[in-house]
Each structure stands twice: as C-alpha cells, then as structure tokens.
C-alpha cells in the first residue's frame, strides 16, 4: 500500500531523488529556465513537503509552496518538485501525490494552485498529468517571466 506523509527533503533517499531531479532539469533546460528547488530550499517554512512510500521505499515526492498574498485576498499555492522514482513510474504515484497536494490546498481554502513546467518533450508526461487533473495554461505568476522553455499552469479550486 502506498502512503503519502509529510517528510523532510533532507532525508538521504529524498536528497538523492531531488539531486537526480535537479540534474535532469539542468540537462533538459537552460540554467536560467530551471526553477526546481533543492533540498534546502524545500525546507522553507512556506513549503510543505511530502513523500510517497511503499513499505518504507521511496516512490516519489511533491511540495506545495504558499504564495504571498495581501490580507483579505484568497490564498494561492504553487506545486514544486513533483518527482517519481524511475522504478515507480507508471504506477500512478504522480497522480496520487497530485491529488494529495490538491486536497491539502483545498483544506487550506486556497483559491488557486499554480505550477511551472518545461516545454521540451521530456516534460510532455508532466503536462499531460496536470491537464488530466484540470490544470490549464496561464500567464506567468509569482515573479516568473515569459520564457520559451516554461509552461505556466493553474487550477482554480
């Protein structure tokens, strides 16, 4: 049975997965277009980080970063560092993680959840995953700028 729990991005197996994730991002996109966070940045107070595990084995991870808002404004969040281990791909781990993150966002009464992903073919499975869950393309958000290597997406909750 796969369980999703809050976890530390500093944990050894998670740190390795995040390092692999960053290496793939830099191998796939120009450095100025890589927006993935490392394990230390994912430990920020504005970020909630989860892992998916089965019998203790790491299957994947994902995070929700709360985006700043003015008092009285509806809250917004950004999905960060969604990654599935190579051995767990095709098992629905990413969908489970995404549903978990969105449920958490709803429980916090967030109005919208955003994400940034790449335009390269490497990112096509991620774009399809997000589209299947209702995300649509949008303008850059939270300080991002137009970039031919980035796709910005949002989901209104």
For residues 147 and 8, give the distance between their C-alpha atoms in angstroms, rounded to a whole number.
Answer: 31
Instruction: Give the pLDDT confidence score for residue 68 in this predicted structure.
Output: 76
- What is the per-residue pLDDT across 25-84, written as a single tens digit (0 to 9) for each? 999 999 899 999 988 999 999 999 999 999 999 999 999 999 976 555 569 999 999 999
User: Is the confidence at residue 4, as pLDDT, over 70?
Assistant: yes
- Residues sharing a CB contact under 8 Å with residue 149, sequence separation 6 or more, in sequence order: 29, 30, 33, 118, 119, 120
For residues 6 and 68, give the distance between their C-alpha atoms in angstroms, rounded to a whole number.
Answer: 22
- What is the per-residue pLDDT across 95-121, written as a single tens digit (0 to 9) for each? 999 999 999 999 999 999 999 999 999
Instruction: Give the pLDDT confidence score for residue 70 in this predicted structure.
Output: 53
Instruction: Give the pLDDT confidence score for residue 14 in this predicted structure.
Output: 96
Average confidence (pLDDT) over 135-152 = 95
For residues 20 and 12, give the distance between their C-alpha atoms in angstroms, rounded to a whole number.
Answer: 12
């Amino acid at each position: 049975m796969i369980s999703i729990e809050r976890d530390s991005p500093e944990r050894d197996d998670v740190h390795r997965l995040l390092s692999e994730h960053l290496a793939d991002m830099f191998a796939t996109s120009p450095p100025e277009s890589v927006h993935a966070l490392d394990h230390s940045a994912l430990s920020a107070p504005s970020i909630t980080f989860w892992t998916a595990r089965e019998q203790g084995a790491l299957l994947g991870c994902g995070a929700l970063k709360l985006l700043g808002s003015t008092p009285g404004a509806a809250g917004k969040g950004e999905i960060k560092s969604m990654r599935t281990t190579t051995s767990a791909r095709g098992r629905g781990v990413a969908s489970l993680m995404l549903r978990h993150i969105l449920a958490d966002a709803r429980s916090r009464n967030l109005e919208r959840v955003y994400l940034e992903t790449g335009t390269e073919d490497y990112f096509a499975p991620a774009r399809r995953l997000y589209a299947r869950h209702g995300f649509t393309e949008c303008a850059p958000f939270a300080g991002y700028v137009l970039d031919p290597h980035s796709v910005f997406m949002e989901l209104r909750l």
